[in-house]
Amino acid sequence: MNHIPSPDDEIPKRLDKDTINDFPLIRFPGAIQVADDSKTFNQLVARLIKHPILGFDIECKPNFKKGPNNPPALLQLATADQAFLFRLYPDFKLGPLVEILENPKIIKTGVALKDDLHNLQKIEEFSPDGFEDLAQIAKSLKIEQTGLRNLTAIFFKQRLSKSAQLSNWQKHPLSPSQMHYAATDAWISRELYLIMKARLDYIS
Residue 162 pLDDT > 90: no
What residue type is assigned to position 148 of the chain?
Answer: L
Instruction: Give the Cα separation of 180 and 80 in Å (integer).
Output: 15
Q: How far apart are CA 160 and CA 143, in angstroms?
A: 18
Cα–Cα distance, 53 to 108 (Å, whole number) = 6
Cα distances (angstroms) measured from residue 102 to each of 53, 64, 74, 94, 108: 14, 32, 18, 12, 10
Query: What are the residue ranges spanned by the domains of the chain?
Result: 17-203
Tell me 31's DSSP state.
Answer: E
Q: Which CATH fold would you assign to the domain 17-203?
A: Nucleotidyltransferase; domain 5 (3.30.420)
Instruction: Write the pLDDT tens digit of every residue in 166-187.
Output: 899 999 999 999 999 999 999 9
Q: Please give the C-alpha separations between residue 49 and each of 21, 100, 103, in angstroms, as whole numbers.
A: 37, 7, 9
Q: Say what the pTM is.
A: 0.93
pLDDT confidence tier of residue 201, bands split at 50, 70 and 90: confident
Write the pLDDT tens digit of every residue in 115-136.
999 999 999 999 999 999 999 9
What mean pLDDT do residues 150-177 have?
94
Alpha-carbon dihedral 170, 80, 15, 26, rounded to 10 degrees: -70
Q: What is the pLDDT of residue 104?
A: 98
63-111: pLDDT as tens digits: 877 767 889 999 999 999 999 999 999 999 999 999 999 999 999 999 9
**pLDDT tens-digit readout, 15-67:** 999 999 999 999 999 999 999 999 999 999 999 999 999 999 999 999 877 76
Residue 2 pLDDT more than 60? no
Sign of CA dihedral 155, 160, 166, 171: negative
**Residue 147 binned pLDDT confidence (cut-offs 50, 70, 90):** very high
The amino acid that residue 19 corresponds to is T
Q: How high is the pLDDT of residue 63?
A: 82
